[in-house]
């Protein structure tokens, strides 16, 4: 089973693996076969659409007596909460008058849907109606109607997979997953800004360890995708080899892949992206598609003179001769202001921009950042 899945805007974690479902279906099919072994007639196996499609298919493969298939669709769910109102959407595809009907449901919780359907079938002329459900929530099922066959009992939690959905999504998973409220609420998305020499990389590394975040650096992503030979990496390498800039859509594709590949972390911290207002808008759209948003932009502020001194010192230590030239350093500072200030204005307009004094020791600056981030826990 996957560790964690995203269905629309909610996260779900593993609950019941397919192997356990198979064993439960084997057992319930055996009980049904015994009861219908000498049945005089041909019962109708009635699949309740859409949730019980997978269960019905697996069950019918195991039934050893003559039977007819039909279907009906009712619903009492919108999102993750029951509306308490059963609506008939699709009618029966076979006549049930005078027939024995075995209703196959995916899950029974409050029992509103199944008791309404039971009454509806009897009113339509069925001679007998038996109920088979893959899952039962005994904690909330308080109806008098007897359920003839129950494959498995579960706790009263919202689940998806094996035919069960969240707003029509998630039915295709062969395993069953349970709603993970804590993780859904915990995931956060931070951006760390600052001029060259502000210590973004150093602080990001410490924040990752402290808050369980995933570090997203566009430079690291490019190198990793190229090394792995992915389609995006190959495209980026071709452009780089030609001396061309990697376009936004390639970088954004890598970021989207990173978001989707790590759904089990507490959140992300972006370093070096976005660099332009257009990239910021695209990041917002990317997160919105996943039901997320930028929670805070952490901007490490240090004076230009400090930037100048730190860049020159780093260049001397790392023997970067060109970076020790005053005009080169000043150009980097000017470029930072020209490209970054519009992005800062964009996030100020969103109300998520937070300035942090970047002067002081590494520990002192880290404590300042943590004080801001604690507000978003």
Residue 191: other Cβ atoms inside 10 A: 25
Asked which of 154, 179, 204 is the last residue of a domain, the reply is: 179
Kindly state whether residues 65 and 24 are assigned to the same domain.
Answer: yes
Kindly state whether residues 52 and 131 are assigned to the same domain.
Answer: yes
- Taking the C-alpha atoms of residue 301 and residue 289, their distance in angstroms, rounded to an integer, is 31
Kindly state whether residues 202 and 70 are assigned to the same domain.
Answer: no
Residue 105: give its domain's CATH number: 3.40.50.2020
Task: Give the domain range for residue 126.
Answer: 5-179
Kindly state whether residues 27 and 155 are assigned to the same domain.
Answer: yes
What 3-state class would DSSP assign to 177?
strand
Q: Counting beta carbons within 10 angstroms of the beta carbon of residue 314, is it exposed (0 to 12), middle (13 to 18) or buried (19 or more)?
A: middle
Which of residues 34 and 320 earns the better pLDDT score? 34
pLDDT at 39: 92
275 is catalytic: yes
pLDDT at 221: 82
Asked which of 132, 151, 179 is the last residue of a domain, the reply is: 179
Query: For residue 106, is it within any domain?
Result: yes
The model's pLDDT over 103-162, given as tens digits with 9 standing for 90+, comes to 999 999 988 889 988 988 998 899 999 999 999 999 999 899 999 999 999 998 899 999
- Given the residues 183, 206, 237, 314, the one annotated as active site: 314
Do the Cβ atoms of 166 and 79 come closer than 8 Å? yes
- Given the residues 8, 275, 290, 348, the one annotated as active site: 275
pLDDT at 182: 55
The model's pLDDT over 309-351, given as tens digits with 9 standing for 90+, comes to 888 887 787 777 666 788 888 888 888 888 888 999 999 999 9
Query: For residue 312, is it within any domain?
Result: yes
Kindly state whether residues 162 and 296 are assigned to the same domain.
Answer: no
Residue 2 pLDDT level (bands cut at 50, 70, 90): low
73 is catalytic: no
- Given the residues 137, 200, 354, 368, the one annotated as active site: 200
- Taking the C-alpha atoms of residue 269 and residue 297, their distance in angstroms, rounded to an integer, is 9
Kindly state whether residues 84 and 38 are assigned to the same domain.
Answer: yes
Smallest CA-to-CA distance from 72 within 52, 46, 51, 95 is with 46
- Given the residues 4, 31, 332, 348, the one annotated as active site: 332
Do the Cβ atoms of 346 and 193 come closer than 8 Å? no
Residue 204: give its domain's CATH number: 3.40.50.300
Query: For residue 104, is it within any domain?
Result: yes
Query: For residue 252, is it within any domain?
Result: no
Kindly state whether residues 12 and 158 are assigned to the same domain.
Answer: yes
Kindly state whether residues 167 and 195 are assigned to the same domain.
Answer: no
314 is catalytic: yes
Q: State mean pLDDT over 186-195.
A: 86
Percent of the chain with pLDDT over 70: 90
Do the Cβ atoms of 163 and 50 come closer than 8 Å? yes
pLDDT at 83: 42
Kindly state whether residues 135 and 282 are assigned to the same domain.
Answer: no
Query: For residue 233, is it within any domain?
Result: no
Do the Cβ atoms of 350 and 294 come closer than 8 Å? yes
Kindly state whether residues 74 and 152 are assigned to the same domain.
Answer: yes
Asked which of 129, 156, 179 is the last residue of a domain, the reply is: 179
Residue 54 pLDDT level (bands cut at 50, 70, 90): very high
Domain total for the chain?
2
Q: State mean pLDDT over 258-285.
A: 88
The model's pLDDT over 67-108, given as tens digits with 9 standing for 90+, comes to 999 988 775 444 444 444 444 445 676 788 999 999 999 999
Tell me the C-alpha to C-alpha distance, in Å, between residue 218 and each of 258, 271, 280, 332. Answer: 11, 7, 14, 19
pLDDT at 321: 67
87 is catalytic: no
Which of residues 254 and 280 earns the better pLDDT score? 280
pLDDT at position 306 over 50: yes
Query: For residue 251, is it within any domain?
Result: no
- Given the residues 23, 320, 339, 350, the one annotated as active site: 320
What's the mean pLDDT when you consider all of the chain? 86
Q: 50-68 in b/e burial notation, b at 16+ Cβ within 10 A? A: bbbbbbbebbeeeeeeebe
Q: Which residues contact 132 (CB under 8 A, 6 or more apart)?
A: 28, 32, 59, 102, 103, 104, 105, 147, 148, 149, 150, 151
pLDDT at 245: 65
pLDDT at 82: 45
Query: For residue 296, is it within any domain?
Result: yes
pLDDT at 78: 46
Query: For residue 244, is it within any domain?
Result: no
């Amino acid at each position: 089973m996957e560790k964690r899945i995203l269905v629309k805007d909610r996260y779900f974690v593993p609950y019941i693996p397919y192997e356990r479902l198979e064993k439960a279906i084997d057992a319930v099919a055996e009980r049904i076969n015994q009861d219908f072994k000498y049945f005089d007639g041909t019962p109708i196996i009635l699949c309740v659409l859409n949730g019980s499609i997978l269960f019905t298919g697996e069950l019918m493969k195991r039934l050893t007596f003559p039977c007819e298939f039909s279907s009906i669709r009712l619903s009492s769910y919108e999102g993750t909460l029951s509306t308490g109102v059963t609506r008939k959407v699709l009618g029966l595809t076979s006549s049930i008058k005078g027939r024995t009907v075995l209703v196959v449901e995916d899950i029974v919780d409050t029992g509103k849907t199944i008791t309404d359907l039971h009454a509806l079938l009897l009113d339509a002329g069925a001679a007998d109606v038996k109920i088979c459900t893959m899952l039962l929530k005994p904690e909330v099922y308080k109806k008098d109607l007897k359920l003839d066959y129950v494959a498995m009992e579960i706790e009263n939690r919202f689940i998806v997979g094996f035919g069960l959905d969240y707003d029509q999504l998630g039915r295709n998973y062969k395993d069953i997953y349970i709603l993970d409220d804590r993780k859904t609420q915990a995931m956060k998305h931070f951006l760390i800004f600052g001029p060259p020499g502000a210590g973004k990389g150093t602080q990001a590394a410490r924040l990752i360890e402290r808050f369980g975040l995933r570090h997203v650096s566009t430079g690291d992503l490019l190198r990793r995708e190229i090394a792995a030979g992915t389609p995006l990496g190959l495209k980026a390498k071709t452009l780089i080899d030609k001396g061309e800039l990697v376009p936004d859509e390639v970088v954004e594709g890598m970021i989207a892949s990173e978001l989707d590949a790590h759904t089990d972390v507490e959140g992300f911290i972006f370093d070096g992206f976005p660099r332009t207002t257009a990239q910021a808008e695209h990041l917002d759209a990317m997160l919105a598609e996943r039901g997320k948003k930028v929670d805070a932009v952490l901007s490490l502020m240090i004076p230009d003179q400090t930037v100048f001194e730190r860049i020159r010192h780093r260049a001397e230590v790392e023997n970067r001769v060109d970076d020790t030239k005053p005009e080169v350093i000043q150009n980097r500072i000017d470029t930072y202001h020209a490209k970054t200030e519009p992005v800062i204005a964009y996030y100020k307009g969103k109300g998520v921009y937070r300035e942090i004094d970047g002067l002081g020791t590494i520990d002192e600056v880290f404590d300042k950042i943590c004080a801001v981030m604690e507000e978003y826990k």
